[in-house]
């Protein structure tokens, strides 16, 4: 089944929560799915592993109603975007290049990027590569430095999880990130099981469609020579010099990137507003969408007022 046909086949119980038109754009040889709603300065909503633009379903209407254009893409390999079969296509550098090309193809200016999980390294890198195109940064439950958090060093054994036999079994055969990881990474679990889990399952129906859920965690560098380490070092240094207005929003119950990560972002971006704490584990968009949208809109409206004065 193609991604466009998969989009048209979204069952009613998912479509009622995600009633947005699916759009597709060919980016660096692959079809990228995205939602594009409203008019005004663009707000770019970036997801991580193993989610897709469905994660932001409750963000889109209020931000559009406030007078902004909302764009929510699916990373290549996730959601309703194309699924390349080669692991090489999933390097962090390729994902950054895909997003940068997506922004260029849509000719986006005065962008506010809202990023969480892997949306952080990809979205923040694009902002550092082309700061003139970005109006603001909103950072949520992510990281931008090479070394992992205590969560990653505490998951035993991290390397074994990604070994040639164990990794494919856990991540692709058992679909562990969708079936257990998501559930354990939200606060309001009963609501999540009823409303959201079916949508995350739907786009990862078989072994091959789950490849990126296994590859993405392996991109987290544990040693200086690991894949992605140099890019993450560059990103951290670039953020130290950034003057782009920023907001830090963090989940109080976060388990993957705990409170010290929010404080580290504050050190990197001392001009940032926050951290502002909301009810939420790792996927805080599922736990406190209304409150987070309120914080984002208040921040953006304050930026707009300052620009006019």
Render each residue's pLDDT in the chain as its tens digit; 309 residues: 566 677 888 999 999 999 999 999 999 999 999 999 999 999 999 999 999 999 999 999 999 999 999 999 999 999 999 998 877 778 999 999 999 999 999 999 999 999 999 999 999 999 999 999 999 999 999 999 998 777 766 664 455 566 677 778 888 888 889 999 999 999 999 999 999 999 999 999 999 999 888 888 778 877 777 778 999 999 999 999 999 999 999 999 999 999 999 999 999 999 999 999 999 999 999 999 999 999 999 999 999 888 887
Rounded Cα–Cα distance for residues 168 and 157 (Å): 15
Three-state SS for 53? helix
C-alpha–C-alpha distance, residues 16 and 20, integer Å: 9
- 3-308 adopts what CATH topology? Rossmann fold (3.40.50)
Domain boundaries along the sequence of the chain = 3-308
Identify the DSSP state of 219.
Answer: T
For residues 51 and 204, give the distance between their C-alpha atoms in angstroms, rounded to a whole number.
10
**How many degrees, rounded to 5, is the angle at CA 171 between CA 169 and CA 177?**
145
Separation CA 134–CA 111 (nearest Å): 4
Q: How far apart are CA 121 and CA 41, in angstroms?
A: 22
DSSP collapsed to 3 states, 60-104: HHHHHHCCCEEEEECCCCCCCCCCCCCHHHHCHHHHHHHHHHHHH
- Who contacts 108 (Cβ-Cβ below 8 Å, separation ≥6)? 42, 44, 71, 133
Q: In what order do the strands lie in the sheet with 30-37?
A: 23-27, 30-37, 69-73, 42-46, 111-116, 134-140, 246-251, 273-278
* Residue from 98, 56, 131 nearest 292 by CA: 56
């Amino acid at each position: 089944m193609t991604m466009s046909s998969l989009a048209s086949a979204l069952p009613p119980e998912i479509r009622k929560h995600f009633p947005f038109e699916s759009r597709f754009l060919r980016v660096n040889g692959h079809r990228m799915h995205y939602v594009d709603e409203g008019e005004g300065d663009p707000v770019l909503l970036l997801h991580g592993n193993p989610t897709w633009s469905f994660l932001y379903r409750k963000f889109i209407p209020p931000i559009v109603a406030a007078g902004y254009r909302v764009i929510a893409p699916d990373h290549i390999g996730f959601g309703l975007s194309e699924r390349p079969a080669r692991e090489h296509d999933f390097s962090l550098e390729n994902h950054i290049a895909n997003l940068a090309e997506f922004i260029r193809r849509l000719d986006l200016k005065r962008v506010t990027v809202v990023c969480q999980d892997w949306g952080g390294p990809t979205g923040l890198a694009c902002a550092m590569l082309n700061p003139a195109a970005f109006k603001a940064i909103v950072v949520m439950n992510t990281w931008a430095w090479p070394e992992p958090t205590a969560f990653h060093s505490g998951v035993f054994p991290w390397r074994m999880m990604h070994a040639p036999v164990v990794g494919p079994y856990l991540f692709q055969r058992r679909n562990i990130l969708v079936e257990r990881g998501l559930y354990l990474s939200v606060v309001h679990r009963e609501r999540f099981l009823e409303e959201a889990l079916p949508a995350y399952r739907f786009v990862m129906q078989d072994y091959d469609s789950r490849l990126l859920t296994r590859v993405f965690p392996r991109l987290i560098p544990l040693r200086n020579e690991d894949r992605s380490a140099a890019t993450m070092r560059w990103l951290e240094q670039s953020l130290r010099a950034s003057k782009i207005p920023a907001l830090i929003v963090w989940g109080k119950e976060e388990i993957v990137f705990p409170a010290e990560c929010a404080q580290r972002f504050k050190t990197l971006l001392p001009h940032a507003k926050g951290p502002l704490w909301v009810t939420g584990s790792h996927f805080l968009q599922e736990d406190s969408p209304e409150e987070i949208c309120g914080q984002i809109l208040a921040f953006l409206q304050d930026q707009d007022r300052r620009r006019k004065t």
